[in-house]
Amino acid sequence: MIILNLVTYNSSTLRTCSSHNSPEYGQSNTSSFRLYAAAAVLISSLVPYTFLAILPISRQLHNKAIAMRGTALNDTAAEAGLAQEDTAHALVDRWATVNMGRALLSGVSALCAAFALVSRIDVVGVTKLGFTSGANRLG
């Protein structure tokens, strides 16, 4: 059995990390913090966005479903007297367009968090990795 054994950090490793403008353990990174804060604000903004933009359209769709409960699916005259923007098809299209805003908010939030995470990763060189067998992995 082969186990990947990472070498522990010593003071020379920390000096090497700090010489590459990478923060040492325990120090804050301002750009990472800003990216995490942006991700938190963006993902938190989904709730008010949903209540302000999507909930009114969902209510209109719900009311439309109740009003057309007894109508057959192939009845083309059911919405004949309505304006084009009040039809069920137009409401579903508007809901889908507004819902894409939610997808964009959560996608940008995930990208901000991913960039913040990647900016905090310190790459360990290949010389710092060691392959040992299970029998002598403790030294």
pTM across the whole model: 0.59
Alpha carbons 19 and 14: distance in angstroms, whole number: 9
Domain count along the chain = 1
In the numeric block, the tokens 């098809």 are attached to: 89
Tell whether 49 is covered by a domain.
Answer: yes
* Tokens 């800003």 -> residue: 34
**Which carries the bigger pLDDT value, residue 21 or residue 6?**
21
The verdict on residue 9 lying in a domain is no
Structure confidence by residue, pLDDT tens digits, 14-50: 444 444 454 554 445 678 889 999 999 999 999 999 9
- Contact criterion met (CB below 8 Å) for 134 and 3: yes
Residue 137 domain-assigned (yes or no): no
Residue 101 near residue 49 (C-beta atoms within 8 A): yes
Q: Which residue is listed with tokens 């995930």?
A: 110
Angle at 61 between CA 103 and CA 109, to 5 degrees: 10
Helices (H) and strands (E) in the chain, counts: 5, 2
Structural domain contains residue 102: yes
Residue 111 belongs to domain spanning? 26-73+80-122
Q: Is residue 90 part of a domain?
A: yes
φ and ψ at residue 83, rounded to 5 degrees: -70, 155
Contact 13, 127 (CB under 8 A): no
Residue 112 lies in a domain: yes
Q: 31 lies in a domain?
A: yes
**What are the tens digits of pLDDT across the range 69-86?**
877 666 666 666 666 667
Task: Name the token pair of 42.
Answer: 């963006």
- In whole angstroms, what is the distance from residue 27 CA to residue 40 CA? 21
The pLDDT value recorded for residue 4 is 42
